[in-house]
């Protein structure tokens, strides 16, 4: 593999394998970017086809599931991802009309695929760029952080904080968001809850 193909280490990815399918770094970045941008849509399609199989295990339902699993298998194979085996197992389940595997293994693959796409986001051209401010998503994220802190669900707290910080946040919330970010980092429960409540008051004027 040439020096100009160098990529940062990402768990679950073997760039040497990727080089067999995508021989230039430009081609790799293009495929990775497409995978990241389309991850929500592709996983939603697979989940929808899974639901269809469970509801009506007809040949057409299994075929639709198989085709989608095959497409996602090709994507993860081309970038050297260890999710290939999971995707292949789902494709075979669709081919063999194996409803149990479709039902029991799809959700885990969807979760792993979305997690991988988030890791890969760091190597896309848009890495580090913030999205526009979405007031509804922002409000939902703050609410979810507060509820997760009350339940001490650390994974959800951190995930929601990352989502909130991915936006271009108006300066109205700037000081309180910085306070919240520090409290989340240090898992200061009381401060997190207080900060979420204050942001809520800023949003709705309560």
For the chain, give every domain's residue range: 8-123, 135-204
In whole angstroms, give the CA distance from residue 69 to residue 91: 5
pLDDT at position 130 is: 65
Residue 59: partners with Cβ closer than 8 Å, 6 or more residues away: 97
For residues 103-127, give the mean pLDDT: 88
State the burial class of residue 41 (Cβ atoms within 10 Å of its Cβ: 0-12, 13-18, 19+): exposed
| pLDDT reading at 127 higher than 70 | no
Residue 166: partners with Cβ closer than 8 Å, 6 or more residues away: 130, 131
Quick one: tokens of 142?
A: 């703050």
pLDDT tens digits for range 183-192: 998 889 999 9
| pLDDT reading at 205 higher than 80 | no
CATH fourth-level superfamily of 8-123: HPT domain (1.20.120.160)
pLDDT tens digits for range 156-171: 998 899 888 888 888 8
């Amino acid at each position: 593999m040439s020096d100009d193909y160098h990529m940062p280490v990402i768990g679950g990815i073997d760039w040497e394998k990727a080089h067999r399918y995508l021989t230039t770094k430009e081609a790799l970045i293009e495929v990775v970017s497409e995978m990241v941008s389309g991850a929500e849509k592709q996983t939603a399609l697979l989940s929808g086809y899974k639901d269809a199989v469970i509801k009506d295990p007809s040949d057409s339902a299994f075929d639709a599931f198989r085709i989608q699993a095959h497409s996602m298998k090709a994507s993860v194979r081309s970038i050297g991802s260890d999710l290939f085996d999971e995707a292949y197992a789902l494709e075979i389940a669709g081919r063999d009309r194996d409803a149990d595997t479709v039902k029991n293994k799809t959700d885990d693959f969807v979760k792993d695929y979305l997690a991988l796409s988030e890791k890969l986001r760091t190597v896309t051209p848009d890495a580090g760029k913030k999205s526009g401010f979405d007031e509804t998503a922002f409000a939902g994220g703050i609410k979810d952080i507060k509820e997760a802190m009350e339940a001490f669900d650390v994974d959800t707290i951190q995930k929601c904080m990352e989502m909130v910080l991915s936006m271009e946040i108006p300066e109205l919330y700037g000081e309180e968001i910085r306070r919240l970010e520090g409290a989340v980092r240090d898992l200061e429960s009381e401060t997190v809850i207080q900060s979420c409540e204050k942001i809520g008051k800023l949003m709705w004027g309560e």
